[in-house]
């Protein structure tokens, strides 16, 4: 029997975490064959060479495609998408996949989706139907309008996909595959964080036994130019409370330079804070930090998704996660320093929340593989109203 | 007062006909400034140098961008979109438009839309919300999910855009700007078609006083590879009825080579038909042919849109216009030669239909300019449910 | 033992004929492994699907890359080169060749050469050092300045490469691999041309027993816009002499549209000439036509190269082959109709010339494979003066 | 009278310094009109926003083109060239220049040159004919083979261009336009360097009255992967001598990441050296540092060129400047730490050298403008042998 060929295109570290359990399930499924293309920030040293991690995990990329144009501005985001669209068709012709599986809502997802859909290859899409703000919002729904099989991560997302005119029989609420990894990590690890952590990154060292804050704040593409002020307010709030903190550098979206500049300037002020800065953290470490931290501050989607499952106290700053489904563990605040500080204080006092399966129960990857193995679709899509 | 800059990107002859009246209204509006980029098939000799026509009409292109990659296959359609995405950002940075206005559902529309939306430039979109089949279906709805101002051409289309989660206050049912041109042509012309018409194109000459058929059949991208058989069935049906016919070559979609090959092989058989073949026709001539023809056969959207306004008897073949709104003037048939012949015979007997304003009353362009002048939008979009 | 990987990039029918015998010799060499990428006009139906022919000959392309941008103008030639440069690096990374072997002087050769040289992959180049006029002239010498191993086809070409500052030990005069094919065809075929030839192409049929002219005229990129007048003068000269003729359509260089328009208009004049027109001819047929024709007219390099070996009487029109080495079989003329006619008459009277090994003796492919197997080069090039 | 349009494409800070005086002379010449496109690293914040400096100097860019693909590897260098080739033709069509003037030997120079030459626009080229090693060597000579007017900077370079088969009447030895700037700066400035210099950059502060070393070391593209060891050896040599030093970060060539990593690791070792690190320095500051430094160490071409005019003692490390013309002020060393240290010690002892006009006398820009105004060329090039 010929196995159905499923091609996954991975474009970033976050992307990989969001699809890894599905990749593994596809690779192990007797009726499926996994094909892999790695691209965008996932092939760059500067973002931690995710492609090497992928290979270490036992996956074999068919091709590595550099496609990010320097500048990290709105216009280079458009041009980078164009580069992806120029290269992926040749690779899809080499691979002739039966289905292309794409993740989420980053701009490289749009390139993957358009290349496949224009070439009459059915598209399967994870994490559609969510509401978030930023250009990701439009990208996500546009990808839904090209996709043939949908794997939303939450009930609200599923309902939205159907309202967008997609056929209900092709919409499968499987939860988020990132939760699969989180469940696995929580199972396998003691939760202890070694102080060796601080051999990586730069900045102060402190004991992770004491309460510490975790900061993860990314640019909001539609608020281009405000990133520096935004991250500075957050760092000031943390400092004001006198708590130690682990601070992550931003992802590669337009505006990342603003956030990075804010962090660099903060560091050059050489305040007597107790902060340690990391470019990237292994997912295992990150999940354990989410389990240990007194509070996660910023605008990372992990606070809402993984946070629900882990029970992490979260202070979500600004508009980036607007309207994404969230549990009780999240407090919303504006970009105001005082608001942020007050909310952190409340969360530190509250402590960890009970587990909430809002974004999945740890079996998403397996469910995705099973659906891909059994479901056939017509390439010709049609809106249902 | 600074005028609001509206940038229109025109990619094909059909595109131009669909936006020309709006371009003129924008150019004449005191509060607006028209910016123009011409690209895709509109800059190519092979498709009749539409850019020269545009200049003759008094518009000044800021840039001409070749972006079509040879091959006319699904993969070159994806790559051509990529090329557009690589070049448009530099031009948008030169022009700094306040709004980008894009038309319909061709693949170059996707490039225009993504470039503008990623660059935080509000997107206005004409002819969204329609249902048609082919990849155009997905492109159209995806563009809607990126667009900030919507100009649907029919009531059904307006309703669908709102169901897709767009804000009703930004959805303006103005009718189709092509109907503006049609109305103008019908007003200004006697309707007489000169026999000099046959100095252009190749094939037999006949008197346009006698009943003649008009054939316009394009590839269906999701039925790639079937075009030759499809056009041959249509030509055989026409020949069987013994009627003279004017046959148009297909547009530049993936699969056009198939249709073209079908036509070439037909011509090489040197049957004693009375057919004349044209690569392109001036819109004035085409509208007058639609007014005079005994029946328009094929799968051109003009049968449904302009046909409604003009009252042209139409036989619509196959799936390309699936579910697009249509009036009484259209009979649907499969790709079967006999079905096609039977339907043509019925339409020839019926004759012209009364006018139906389903796709507009001839003021779309002016309405579009007025809305663009007064409406302000937030770049940050959000789904309404 | 690991075999040395030699990657060949084939971009056109002429390209393929120029490298096929070397490809076969590489494939059969115990110390070498052949890698193949097919691109540019060689992957397009419109140019006769050379890639299918390549596969039929037993070669397996690693990838097919569409890279020609429609328009056939000087600017699309530049952009198409850019497309090649965008896609080839990803494929070279997949293949990791030890040497990239590139052919001649077309614009896709430049893309292949730059991609390889920038990536520190040694470049081997056939047919360098020749002098021809047109932009090909500059491309050819520029490729020489990037190439590490040189395979000139004639003694004059070898001397020129050394004068350009290349190391003599890396310059190997092997003759032209096209002559290998010519020698093989002349050996294996009776030379008889079947009248079935005329089932292909369009136009008049005639007996190939009687004297006939062969016309092959391509655009001169630096004389962009003059092609129509040039081909018309040639066709008129042929018609004036009252001889039957086989006429080939031009290649894909900038300006091809001009030549094509000239041919189309000529055909529409429906003169009582005896001309038959072909888009492409199998090389076997073409060589036999060169052996049989009373005179080859135009500006194809085949007149000078293959013509020398076969002894074909040639009238070389205009500047395209300026200064390329040539034997006694060639008469030079301007674009003037009368000059052309007079020269044809002289050649028809003279008849076939004796064989001249100026461009090789039929063993070029084998010599190339042997050199590639034994020669090692330093990636760092340096001019010798 | 219509002025002759001269289009300059500037791609980096070094590029700009090398052409600025010619740009000014063109702008001021009554028979010439300056057109400007800014691209590559010159439009990026990360490289100090050279485009803003250019505008401050009174030049108006027609377009800014991002074209660098992230990764700084050999393959992204090829792809970035491809991007340039895709975008420049559209801009050249907008501008319709009479001559394109391009600088030196970086990969974006190749894109500029190919785009212009393929489009039949005459190319003028500065700084051709030099010998340097690295891929720049091949690029420079290949550009010469496409260029129509040559402006070599030294007598040896002029001779080499003529040997490459270029017409002597189009080869004008004008000196290097960077020397024009150097001459101007030396004239206008007292040579005093303010200690405020150290408010920029990072690292230790020291008095610039005491002897200090200037380090400027770039990647060697053909030694990809060795950059970290190379820069480390240089820094160790400097530290060993106990001298204060100003260290510059590398340019954007393939391999820059290696050098940067070397510098970052050096800094993290927190040795008790006295080094200050700069991403970019204004040319005025740099020239004054070259006048004041006890010794310039590394592989920057400025040591050979500007160094000759200024009389800077230079230690040139490794192969990057192999065979470039140099004066008495330069000592050559390998990548060996001890060799480097010994040579620095010798130069520190020797002190400043007398001025040497090897690379020009400060009037290159004016000479270039004059030649461009009076010289006409044929687009069709031909090798002279």
What confidence tens digit (pLDDT) does each residue in A40-65 have?
999 999 888 899 999 999 999 999 99
Q: What percent of chain D has pLDDT over 70?
A: 100
Distance from CA of C102 to the nearest CA of D (A): 16
pLDDT mean over A302-319: 95
CB within 8 Å: D118 and C107: yes
Which of B192 and A300 is assigned the larger pLDDT?
A300
Average pLDDT over residues A127-149: 93
Q: Indicate the range of A198-212, B98-112, D18-32 predicted with least confidence.
A: A198-212
Between A284 and B124, the higher pLDDT residue:
B124
Q: Are residue A47 and residue A113 in the same domain, yes or no?
A: yes
Environment class of A345 (CB within 10 Å of its CB; exposed 0-12, middle 13-18, buried 19+): middle
Q: Which residue of C has its CA nearest to A38?
A: C90
Q: Are residues D205 and D268 in the same domain?
A: yes
Size of interface A-B (CB pairs under 8 A): 152
Tell whether the model's pLDDT for residue D151 goes beyond 90: yes
Measure Cα distances from B318 to A384, B336, D357 in Å: 20, 9, 78
Residue whose C-alpha is closest to residue B299's, from B337, B268, B333: B333
- Give residue B223's pLDDT band: very low, low, confident or very high (50, 70, 90): confident
User: What are the DSSP E strand ranges found in chain A?
Assistant: 4-10, 32-39, 63-65, 99-103, 123-126, 149-151, 202-203, 212-216, 244-248, 275-278, 295-298, 314-317, 330-333
Q: Are D98 and D4 in contact (CB under 8 A)?
A: yes
In chain C, the DSSP E strands lie at 4-10, 32-39, 63-65, 99-103, 123-126, 149-151, 202-203, 212-216, 244-248, 275-278, 295-298, 314-317, 330-333
Residues of C in contact with D162 (CB under 8 A): none
Using pLDDT thresholds of 50, 70 and 90, give the confidence band for residue B255: confident
Residues D218-234, mean pLDDT to the nearest whole number: 91
pLDDT surpasses 80 at D1:
no
Contact C149, C124 (CB under 8 A): yes
A86, C83: Cβ pair inside 8 Å? yes
In a domain, C180, yes or no: no
- Find out whether B344 and B315 touch, Cβ atoms under 8 Å: yes
| Domain annotation covers residue D155 | yes
C384 domain residue, yes or no: no
Residues of C in contact with D79 (CB under 8 A): 85-86, 89
Q: What is the C-alpha end-to-end distance of chain D, expressed in Å? A: 38
Is there a domain that residue A381 lies in? no
Q: Tell me: do C168 and C221 sit in the same domain.
A: no
Same-domain status, B71 and B156: yes
Q: B154 to chain A nearest CA, in Å?
A: 15
CATH number at residue A332: 3.40.50.2000
Which residue, among B296, B361, B358, has the nearest Cα to B324 in the 3D structure?
B358
**Dihedral (Cα; D279, D282, D288, D291), 10-degree rounding:** 60
Tell me the average pLDDT of chain C. Answer: 93
Q: pLDDT tens, A89-100?
A: 999 999 999 999
Percent of chain A predicted with pLDDT > 90: 78
- Mean pLDDT computed over every residue of chain B: 93
Subunits with at least 3 CB pairs below 8 A relative to chain A?
B, C, D
- Write the pLDDT tens digit of every residue in B313-328: 999 999 888 778 899 9
In the prediction, which pLDDT does D231 show? 96
Residue B12 in any domain: the answer is yes
Question: Considering the domain boundaries, does residue A380 fall inside one?
Answer: no
Of all residues in chain C, what percent carry a pLDDT higher than 90?
Answer: 78
Q: Which residue of B has its CA nearest to D96?
A: B63
Q: Are residues C92 and C222 in the same domain?
A: no
Instruction: State whether A246 and A344 are in the same domain.
Output: yes
What does the pLDDT look like over C140-171, one tens digit per residue? 999 999 999 999 999 899 999 999 999 999 99
Find chains touching chain B: ≥3 CB pairs under 8 Å: A, C, D
D57 and D113 fall within a common domain: yes
Under the phi-then-psi rule, with left for phi > 0, alpha for psi from -120 to 50, and beta for the rest, what region is D270?
left
Using DSSP bridges, classify how beta strands C314-317 and B99-103 pair: parallel, antiparallel or unpaired: unpaired
pLDDT at A166: 97
Q: What is the mean pLDDT of chain D?
A: 93
Same domain, C189 and C139: no
The ipTM estimated for the assembled molecules is 0.81
- Rounded to a whole number, what is the distance in Å from the CA of D275 to chain C's nearest CA? 33
Do C196 and C301 have their domain in common?
A: yes
Q: Which of D69, D113, D119, D319 to mutate to test the interface with C (most CBs of C within 10 A)?
A: D119
Across the interface, whether the CB atoms of D163 and C163 are under 8 A apart is answered yes
Write the residue in D86, D92, D117 that is nearest to C83 by C-beta.
Answer: D86
pLDDT of C133 higher than 80: no
List, as one string, the DSSP characters of A276-344: EEES---HHHHHHHHHH-SEEEES-GGGTHHHHHHT--EEEESSTTTT----TTEEEE-S-HHHHHHHH
Contact D234, D318 (CB under 8 A): no
At A330-372, the pLDDT tens digits run 999 999 999 999 999 999 999 999 999 899 989 999 999 999 9
User: Which domain range does residue D28 map to?
Assistant: 4-174+363-374
CB contact under 8 A, A83 and C87: no
pLDDT at D190: 82
Rounded CA separation D35/D50 (Å): 17
* Contact call for D165 and C165, based on CB within 8 A: no
Average pLDDT over residues A191-209: 87
Q: What is the pLDDT of residue C259?
A: 95
State residue B46's pLDDT score: 86
Q: How confident is the model at residue D100 (pLDDT cuts 50, 70, 90)?
A: very high
What pLDDT sits at residue D299? 96
Contact B83 C69 (CB under 8 A): yes
pLDDT at C273: 78
Residues C209 and C64 in one domain: no
Give the one of C44, C73, C202 whose C-beta lies nearest to B71's C-beta: C44
The answer to whether residue B180 is domain-embedded is: no
Same domain, B205 and B341: yes
Q: What share of chain C is helix, strand, coil (3-state, %, to 5)?
A: 50, 15, 35
Which secondary-structure segment (H or E) carries B99?
strand B99-103
- When CB atoms are compared, the residue of C62, C65, C93 closest to A64 is C93
In degrees and rounded to multiples of 5, residue A376 shows phi and psi of -115, 145
pLDDT tens per residue across span B174-196: 999 999 999 999 998 887 888 88
Question: By the 8 A CB rule, do D114 and D108 touch?
Answer: no
The structural domain count of chain C equals 2
**Pairwise CB contact (< 8 Å): A138 & B146:** yes
Q: Which chains touch C (3 or more CB pairs under 8 A)?
A: A, B, D
At CA B38, angle to CA B36 and CA B39, rounded to 5? Answer: 145
Here the tokens at position C75 are 């600017």
**Rounded Cα gap, residues D189 and D179, in angstroms:** 15
Indicate which of C50, C70, C74 best probes the interface with B, i.e. most B CBs within 10 Å of its own CB.
Answer: C70
D83 neighbourhood in chain A, CB within 8 Å:
69, 79, 83
Beta carbons of D385 and C160 less than 8 Å apart: yes
- Report CB contact under 8 Å: D86, B91: no
Residue of C nearest to D74 (CA): C119
- Give mean pLDDT, residues C84-106: 97
Confidence (pLDDT) at A222 = 77
What mean pLDDT comes out for the span D76-100?
97
Residues of D in contact with A40 (CB under 8 A): none
- D-side interface with B, Cβ within 8 Å? 62-66, 83, 86-87, 90-91, 93-94
pLDDT tens-digit readout, C6-42: 999 999 998 999 999 999 999 999 999 999 999 999 9
Report chain C residues touching chain B, CB-CB < 8 A: 43-46, 66-71, 73, 75-76, 79, 83, 202, 257, 268
Name the pTM for this structure.
Answer: 0.83
Greater confidence (A253 vs C266) lies with: C266
Task: Evaluate whether residue B383 is within a structural domain.
Answer: no
Query: Are C213 and C138 members of one domain?
Result: no
Residue C252 clears pLDDT 90, i.e. is over it: no
Helix/strand/coil percentages in chain A, nearest 5? 50, 15, 35
């Amino acid at each position: 029997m010929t196995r159905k060929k499923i091609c996954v295109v991975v474009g970033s570290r976050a992307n990989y975490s969001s699809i890894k359990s599905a990749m593994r399930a596809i690779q192990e499924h007797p009726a499926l064959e996994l094909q892999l293309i790695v691209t965008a920030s996932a092939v760059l040293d500067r973002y931690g060479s995710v492609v090497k991690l992928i290979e270490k995990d036992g996956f074999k990329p068919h091709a590595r495609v550099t496609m990010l144009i320097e500048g990290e501005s709105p216009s280079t985001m458009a041009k980078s998408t164009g580069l992806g669209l120029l290269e992926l068709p040749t690779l899809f012709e080499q691979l002739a996949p039966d289905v292309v599986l794409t993740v989420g809502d980053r701009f490289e997802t749009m390139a993957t989706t358009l290349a496949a859909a224009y070439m009459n290859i059915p598209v399967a899409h994870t994490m559609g139907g969510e509401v978030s703000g930023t250009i990701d919002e439009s990208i996500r729904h546009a990808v839904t309008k090209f996709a043939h099989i949908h794997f939303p991560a939450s009930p609200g997302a599923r309902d939205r996909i159907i309202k967008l005119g997609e056929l209900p029989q092709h919409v499968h609420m499987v939860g988020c595959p990132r939760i699969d990894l989180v469940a696995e990590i929580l199972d396998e690890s003691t939760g202890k964080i070694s102080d060796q952590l601080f051999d990586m990154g730069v900045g102060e060292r402190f004991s992770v036994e004491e309460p510490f804050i975790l900061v993860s704040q990314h640019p909001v593409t539609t608020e281009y130019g405000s990133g520096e002020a935004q991250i500075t307010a957050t760092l000031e709030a943390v400092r004001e409370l006198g708590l130690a903190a682990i601070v992550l550098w931003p992802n590669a979206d337009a505006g990342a330079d603003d956030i990075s500049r804010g962090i660099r300037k903060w560091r050059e002020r050489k305040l007597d804070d107790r902060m340690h800065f990391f470019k990237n953290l292994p997912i295992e470490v990150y999940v354990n930090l989410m389990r240990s931290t007194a509070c996660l501050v910023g605008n990372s989607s992990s606070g809402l998704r993984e946070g629900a499952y882990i029970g992490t106290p979260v202070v979500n700053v600004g508009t980036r996660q607007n309207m994404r489904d969230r549990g009780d563990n999240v407090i919303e605040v504006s970009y105001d320093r005082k608001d942020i500080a007050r909310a952190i204080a409340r969360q530190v006092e509250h402590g960890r929340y009970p587990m909430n399966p809002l974004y999945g129960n740890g079996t998403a990857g397996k469910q995705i593989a099973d659906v891909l193995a059994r479901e056939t679709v017509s390439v010709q899509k049609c809106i249902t109203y």
